[in-house]
Structure 1
Amino acid sequence: MSDRTDGRSDGTSPEESRPSISFVTPRYGADIIGGAEHAARMLAERLVQRGWRVEALTTVAGDIQRWSPGYPEGETTESGVVVMRFKVDKGRDPRFQLLTRPTEFYATSATENEAADYLELQGPVSNELVEAIRESDTDHVAFYPYLYHPAVYGAKTVTDRVVLHPAAHDEAPLYLPMFRELFETAPRIVFHTGAEERLVRSVFRISQARRITLGLGIDPAPENAPDNGAEILGFDPAQPYICAVGRVDTLKGTTMLADFVASYRERHSVKPNLALVGTVAVAPDEKPWLKITGPVSEEEKWAIIKGSSALISPSYYESFSLVMMEAWSVAKPVMVNSRCEPTREHIERSGAGFHFGDYPEFEVGLELLLEQPALASELGTRGQKYVTDNYSWRAVMERYTNFLL
């Protein structure tokens, strides 16, 4: 950092006088689409645009299955954010699910040692990253999400500067004892939805924290974005299709969704195709009407959403669901899993879709969307208004900066 003050009366340099923040995530990069890391990057880049000094402290990990290296170690500047990546000392143990199943099952009664073992086996463990967090000189240190080793151990070193973005779900790890200190000492906590805050307050005592329900801002679809999703997917343009965007994984509900669509096709004359768009962890069985794309470009993602009849969010565990907002931003109706309270809350607040708890509810909702186009259009329009009113980047960033300052 320069010692030059440019004549400031308080002796500080222009660089020192700027508000500053570090974002700590397990991985960071423009090619990571969706999830907490994507949300953190969006906030970081927009704070740069508002004149903040912003750094990202992270690991070299490129995937979440093993936290294998995907980026080189060292410092880069990406969209104005100074990104510092550190080596991973321990990735996700191949036996993680097997070894931690008892700990998750008995999470509320797990010992501190069992919880610490859970974090070590889950990864990513990076001792250099924790040390970099300790040495950071920014006004705030934002941890996004709560779940991983860097947040638990890094926050201990900068307690009074912590801004915790939990991205919490009602999942077993939330109840492990080592997270209590993280939540109950954080001076600032940022939630995606009211449902997430209610969940956290039911588990932890967080009265010490200044809190905000922020959500996320939505990038508009590219101007003149095509709606040739059927062509990209290889579907017959004369047949409707629905899509789910995000990790393809049984735990994200995509296998259930494929099964539900198979049953729907057997029972109805209008037989929709299904596109599962995103990184593949556990794929459903192949079907001629099912397309699993793997990762796609932003342009392809928007084309697939715009060309669809509806977006489906089958996941049990979401803290916000950016892709719901993206679908609504282009006036597409949405259906979500009733067991996911944050996404159900969006549906109930917006009136822009349906939620389903079982196959019969899914069938009724999808039939309405496919066979009543005027209703589908009205729901999409409501969703578009909901996003404009609540999740424009300007509104989100004004709330966030006021919260931090």
Structure 2
Amino acid sequence: MTKIAIVIQRYGDEINGGAETHARLLAKKLSIDYEITILTTKAVDHSNWKDYYSEDLEYIDNIKTKRFSCTSSKPDKKFRKYRRIILKRTKFQQLLSKVGLYSFFNKRKYFEATEKENDLWLKSVGPNSPELVEYIYTNKDQYDCFIFFTYLYYTTVEGLKIVGNKSIYVPTAHDEPEFYASVYNSTYKNAKFIMYNTSFEKKLIEANHKIAKTKRNNIAGIGLEQVNYNQQPEHNYSFKYLLYIGRIEGGKGCFELYDFFNKFKVSNPNLKLKLIFVGKKNPKLLPNNDIIFTGFVSNNVKQHLLLNCEALIIPSYYESLSMVTLEAMFEKKIVIANGNCEVLKNHITNSDSGFYYHNENEFYNTINKLMSLSEHELKQHGEKARKYVKQNYTWPHIIEKFDSAIKFIKNS
């Protein structure tokens, strides 16, 4: 049987990140016809990469999962320092920009990070797991194919250097500052096959990493299917609410959403609507009468909250696919998305369902429009949303694309 290793930065029941969940669902589907091994770290929290799991080996969904330690947590000062270097935003570079000389020096490659600086950045962003990388090197002949998730991380960049010749690379890239750093050029150079999540991601990568155009590739995304969960009475809220599901952090637009919604309720005190955040609590955001934080919840609870919300809201500026958006659409729920994110905006426009906003005023108008919809209009939005997902994101179609890519890797 063909042996495949899936390399992913975090993996487990306690993790609800998009790429991590994507990898887990894909692993379950591929395990029907292939022998799958997950290669990951012992970390849960991506902000420090501290070991959480103690076991080196466990079986999740009956799939072998090998875990490796990370050598250190993310040092904030060093992380910020090296981020400024790889993004070309040092104080000196900012000064040159103010006096109009930055472009002159940048065109002449004066600001390119050194190999050492790139390495220090990768170890800083993490997960810094030499054990995992060493395992890939030592056991590279034991697997027929390696599937790497997420362009950003140390394990992806270093792993592709070793087994790029038999790799399928799922970048999960989006239009964020780090995406443009030259340190990631090697991932597209080393990958044998690139599997994009969306046509927008393919266009973005090929426009900024020319080498990607020369690689065999396809667009797959993720599959959705009906899942039945038990009801959770402890979350049977009697009030109407908007729902956010995911990492609760500034980079996901949560601080802005928190601010927008608070201001909206001040202007609309009689509107009986609350906002619920589902995910690990962020100490910078505090609950109030209108905003609730559930913390991390089970899939049963998450599904129950999703099925009973007025709409799912995704405030992120940067997404490569957004699984939770597709999950909501599959369940015929309205999605309200940040229109500044092209991927999210495309889901809304291509499905002709849901809404998007670009600024605070549009956010207010969108909420008011949502609350004024009739039952018939709500049903229309729901039917269009599910139709869009079923036409574009079904597992048989996606697995067929991975089968073809794996066959290409084996025959190369």
Name the SS for the 1:30 alignment partner: coil
Report the Cα offset of residue 277 of structure 1. Answer: 0.5
Deviation at 1:145, TM superposition (A): 0.9
User: Which piece of structure 1 moves more, 32-41 or 75-84?
Assistant: 75-84
- The residue type equivalent to 1:368 in the other structure is K
Which deviates further from its counterpart, 277-286 or 212-221?
Answer: 277-286
The answer on whether the counterparts of 2:79 and 2:121 sit within 8 Å (CA) in structure 1 is no
Alignment partner, residue 293 of structure 2: 292
Are 1:203 and 2:202 matched, yes or no? no
Distance in 2 (alpha carbons) for counterparts of 1:283 and 1:274: 16
Identical aligned residues as a percent: 29
1:386 maps to 388
Match of 1:59 in 2: 41
The answer for the alignment partner of 1:33 in structure 2 is 16
Letter in 1 for 2:288: K
Is the Cα contact below 8 Å between 1:249 and 1:282 reproduced in 2? no
Return the letter of the residue paired with 1:126: S
Aligned-partner Cα distance in 2 for 1:384–1:332: 9
Change over 3 Å in CA distance of 1:282–1:399 after alignment to 2: farther
- Judged with a 3 Å threshold, the aligned counterparts in structure 2 of structure 1 residues 226 and 75 are, in CA distance, closer, same or farther, namely closer
Instruction: State the secondary structure of the residue aligned to 1:241.
Output: strand
> Could you list the runs of 5+ residues in structure 2 that have no partner in the other structure?
90-105, 408-412
Distance of 2:21 and 2:284 partners within structure 1:
23
Code of the residue aligned with 2:221 in structure 1: it is G
Q: Which runs of 5+ in 1 are unaligned?
A: 1-17
Post-superposition Cα deviations, 1:342-369, rounded to whole Å, max 9, x if no partner, equal 1111111111111111012112222121
The alignment status of 1:217 with 2:218, answered yes or no, reads no
Q: CA deviation at 1:242?
A: 0.5
Report if the CA contact (8 A) 1:146-1:152 is conserved.
Answer: yes
Offset of residue 383 of structure 1: 0.6
DSSP 3-state at the match of 2:31: helix
Which aligned pairs between 1:117-266 and structure 2 lie closer than 5 A? 117-134=120-137, 135-136=139-140, 137-205=142-210, 206-222=212-228, 225-226=230-231, 232=235, 235=237, 237=238, 239-266=239-266
| Residue 114 (structure 1) aligns with | 117
Indicate whether 1:23 and 2:6 are aligned: yes
Q: CA deviation at 1:403?
A: 2.9
Partner residue, 2:99: none
Distance in 1, matches of 2:294 and 2:284, equals 11
Deviations 1:4-29 (A, max 9, x none): xxxxxxxxxxxxxx222111111221
DSSP 3-state at the match of 1:141 = strand
Q: Distance in 2 between matches of 1:143 and 1:319?
A: 15
Q: Residues 335-394 of structure 1, C-alpha deviation per residue, up to 9 Å, x if partnerless?
A: 111121111111111111111110121122221211113323311221111112221222
- 1:166 maps to a residue whose letter is P
Partner of 1:339: 340
Contact 2:50 2:72 survives alignment (8 Å): no
1:329–1:226 CA distance, 2 compared to 1 (3 A)? farther
Cα distance in 1 for residues equivalent to 2:355 and 2:158: 40
Name the SS of the counterpart of 2:53 in structure 1: coil
Paired residues, what number? 381
> The residue matched to 1:303 in structure 2 has which SS?
helix
Cα distance change on mapping 1:304 and 1:187 into 2, 3 Å: same
Give the drift of 1:91: 2.9
Deviation track 1:166-196 (CA, whole Å, cap 9, x = no partner) reads 0111122222222111112311011111111
CA contact (8 A) 2:49 2:126 kept: yes
Cα distance in 1, alignment partners of residues 350 and 405 from structure 2: 24
Deviation by residue 1:177-231 (Cα, 9 ceiling, x = unmatched)? 22111112311011111111111112102122111111111242316x5486xx6
Q: Per the alignment, in what secondary structure is the counterpart of residue 82 of structure 2?
A: helix
* Aligned-partner SS, 1:156: helix
Aligned 8 A contact 1:66 1:94 in 2: no
Q: Secondary structure at the match of 1:157?
A: helix
Runs of 4+ in structure 1 off by over 4 angstroms are: none
Work out which structure has the larger RCO, using CA pairs closer than 8 Å and 6 or more positions apart in sequence: 2
